[in-house]
Structure 1
Amino acid sequence: MELVFPPLRWLILLPPVFLCVLLSYLYAILWLRPERLREKLRSQGVKGPKPSFLFGNIVEMRRIQKELAMSVQELQAGTTDKFSSDYTATLFPYFLHWSRIYGM
């Protein structure tokens, strides 16, 4: 007794198989790879905020940048010098904020 499928039967099985392969690939790329990277960083002592699934820490980064922009505008309201040599605090204020919270 042989199991022989007609050619059209294989075409019916193709979309579910393709969907399973696609979902497993997306799971590996969007969830497992970043989790492995976070685990390596934690093992080295690097701590930080827990990111959300798709957007990471973008929402928190924008909030910190907006708060810094408002505070800088308030400080510079009475000054004419708008240049600073501390470019790290200007470009990446969330790094400074997180290093204060989580340590170096």
Structure 2
Amino acid sequence: MVAAWIVLVISGLLESVWAGALTRSEGFTKLWPSVIFGVALVASMIGLGYALRSIPLGTGYAIWVGIGVVGTTIYGLIALDEPMSVARLICLVAIVGGIVGLKLTTPAH
């Protein structure tokens, strides 16, 4: 079960990788960002599928998406100079709180 949670977190981080690569691919016109996108997407989905064998669907999917959202937002702030505001920060903290809450309230199989 611990392995499933570790794989889920890695898969969520890979979601951020493929989202960032998608932006950098400029509509799949750049080779390496397009390749990174494809590899990260497939690896992320395989990991999510593996994790969902042990983690309830609603919890696993929400955590996967939440990690992807937070990671992609951080990437956008750092690499793409996207703006940060107090409101956006509060929303990110709420997402992280939801992720932690889902993990803590998920019953063991």
Task: Give the TM-score of the pair, scaled to structure 2.
Answer: 0.34
Greater relative contact order, per chain length (Cα 8 Å cut-off, separation 6+): 2
Task: Give the TM-score of the pair, scaled to structure 1.
Answer: 0.35
- Looking at CA atoms only, which structure, 1 or 2, has the larger radius of gyration? 1
Relative to its length, the structure with more helix (as a share) is 2
